[in-house]
């Protein structure tokens, strides 16, 4: 299935992208791709370093006549988000990604594609392997665990890189140059619960919200997409009293930086209420389809008979869970006062999982204003506090403040217009980029981020536009060729 990809242009980029598709690389399990990169460096006689965190740095000398140019580090992350449709059989720890070409895009068979940021890795490898690309002193940094903790960027030493300029290859809209990003923080809570025995006079059902688009909790948070956790909880909260509904299990969402696409609950109702439950599910599905007719065309809310469980949550535990999930905000909290149509602050109700004797609720907050990030984290924490939950927030990561005097931004803008005949957009991004953390360690480094067009990232709908990869490649090479000399 992956073979047709190597026929695409630019050939070497797609060749290495195919190689990467065959290497499992979940976040925190990047050993196989790290081994591949180390062997790549040896095979090409390039200085290759693995740092204490697991990041890989490969250095390549300048091409003849360009030794006096400013040094550039190209940067991407090696891990990928591992999401799949519920009916898809795939082992992300061992199976290759099955990709195919469809109507001008490359996509995967029921799983995430890993173009975020596999296409950046492939581009770096194609440049490192080539003897015909003009560039000054070059470093290629491959960071680990960007998707679940930014571990690689956090652990990067402040004296490892030697470059003056960083080009991050982890953006997802061709024709846009990014010069700033939001900072972020995760807030997790552990809700204790108590179970009671189930009565034989009840019937059990599996309720499932599915078919949602999902997407990146930064890039896609403003697109009015449904959150499966919020929608399912809305139904359960509404009918817990009138249908005497009791919950055995609530399981929704997976990743902190993905909008929940699917959520399920195992519930029981008195047997005489079974017909009413089925009726209300059908009505609620119609309501949701009307509310999300544009953004969620494939939304589905289904009910199926389940085996009667031995236990369900007691009344207090269920009330605390449903009230907490209902109260937790999700989506855009504030728009920027400085940039038109730019999300400033948001929060994502990412996942709800039963683990042992606790229910783990994972949320993530983002903001380009540090004080507003602290505020939304406090808002979410206060809800968990009222619920009597144990909760904690991660250390978070800083935003990347735009530099209005950036030399690399001016150069890239001009070269883009020269190559393609129109001006690129220069923007900040609500998603997190490693530039913020790297900039903290290298405050004098001039930085920019750009990439080809990806859609549906962090979901099984992830796809990459083929023609945009060629433009991305041409722009990257043109920038490297025109990096100014050291002063």
User: Is 102 one of the catalytic residues?
Assistant: no
Q: Out of 19, 79, 117, 465, which one is annotated catalytic?
A: 79
Give one word for 34, left, alpha or beta, with left for phi > 0 and alpha for psi -120 to 50: alpha
Report which secondary-structure segment, H or E, holds 248: strand 246-252
Query: 16: closest CA among 474, 469, 338?
Result: 469
Q: Out of 30, 146, 174, 220, which one is annotated catalytic?
A: 146
- What is the distance between the alpha carbons of residues 449 and 394, in angstroms, rounded to a whole number? 25
- What is the distance between the alpha carbons of residues 41 and 49, in angstroms, rounded to a whole number? 9
Q: Helices in 328-422 by DSSP H: which ranges?
A: 370-386, 407-420
- What is the distance between the alpha carbons of residues 439 and 290, in angstroms, rounded to a whole number? 45
* Tokens (6 digits) for 456: 């549906």
- Compute how many other C-beta atoms are within 10 angstroms of the C-beta atom of residue 305: 11
Cβ atoms 46, 59 nearer than 8 A: yes
Cβ atoms 350, 260 nearer than 8 A: yes
Name the β-bridge partners of 210: 300
Cβ atoms 50, 38 nearer than 8 A: yes
Residue identified by tokens 């030399």 is: 407
User: Is 340 one of the catalytic residues?
Assistant: no
Name the β-bridge partners of 475: none
Which active-site residues does the annotation give? 79, 146
């Amino acid at each position: 299935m992956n073979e047709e990809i190597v026929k695409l242009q630019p050939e070497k980029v797609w060749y290495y992208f195919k190689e990467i598709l065959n290497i499992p690389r979940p976040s925190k399990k990047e050993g196989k791709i790290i081994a591949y990169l180390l062997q790549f460096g040896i095979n090409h006689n390039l200085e290759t370093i693995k740092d204490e965190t697991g990041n890989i740095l490969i250095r390549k000398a300048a091409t003849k006549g360009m030794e006096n140019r400013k040094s550039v580090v190209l940067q991407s992350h090696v891990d990928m988000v591992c999401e799949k449709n519920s009916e898809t059989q795939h082992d992300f720890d061992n199976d290759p990604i099955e990709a195919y070409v469809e109507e001008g895009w490359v996509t995967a068979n029921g799983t995430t594609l890993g173009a975020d940021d596999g296409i950046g890795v492939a581009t770096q490898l194609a440049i490192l392997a080539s003897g015909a690309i003009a560039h000054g002193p070059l470093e290629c940094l491959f960071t680990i665990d960007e998707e679940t903790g930014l571990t690689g960027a956090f652990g990067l030493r402040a004296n490892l890189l030697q470059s003056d300029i960083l080009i991050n290859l982890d953006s997802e809209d061709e024709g846009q140059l990014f010069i700033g990003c939001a900072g972020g923080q995760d807030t997790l809570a552990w809700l204790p619960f108590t179970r009671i025995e189930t009565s034989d006079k009840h019937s059990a059902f599996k309720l499932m919200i599915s078919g949602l688009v999902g997407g990146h909790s930064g890039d896609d948070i403003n697109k009015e997409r449904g959150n499966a956790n919020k929608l399912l909880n809305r139904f359960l909260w509404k009918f817990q009293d009138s249908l005497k509904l009791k919950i055995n299990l609530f399981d929704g969402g997976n990743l902190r930086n993905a909008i929940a696409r699917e959520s399920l609950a195992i519930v029981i109702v008195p047997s005489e209420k079974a017909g009413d439950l089925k009726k209300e599910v059908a009505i609620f599905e119609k309501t949701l389809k009307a509310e999300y007719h544009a953004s969620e065309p494939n939304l589905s809310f289904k009910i199926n008979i389940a085996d009667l469980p031995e236990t369900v949550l007691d009344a207090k535990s269920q009330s605390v869970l449903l009230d907490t999930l209902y109260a937790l905000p999700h989506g855009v909290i504030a728009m920027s006062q400085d940039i038109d149509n730019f999300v400033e602050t948001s929060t994502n109700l990412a996942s709800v999982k039963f683990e042992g004797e606790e229910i783990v609720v994972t949320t993530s907050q983002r903001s380009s204003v540090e004080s507003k990030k602290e505020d939304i984290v406090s808002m979410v924490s206060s809800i968990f506090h009222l619920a009597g939950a144990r909760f904690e927030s991660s250390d978070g990561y800083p935003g990347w403040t735009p530099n209005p005097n950036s030399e690399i931004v001016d150069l890239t803008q001009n070269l883009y217009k020269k190559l393609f005949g129109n001006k690129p957009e220069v923007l900040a991004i609500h998603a997190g980029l490693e530039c913020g953390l790297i900039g903290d360690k290298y405050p004098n480094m001039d930085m920019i981020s750009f990439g080809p067009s990806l859609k549906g990232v962090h979901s099984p709908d992830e796809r990459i536009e083929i023609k945009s990869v060629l433009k991305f490649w041409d722009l990257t090479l043109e920038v490297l060729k025109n990096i100014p000399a050291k002063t």
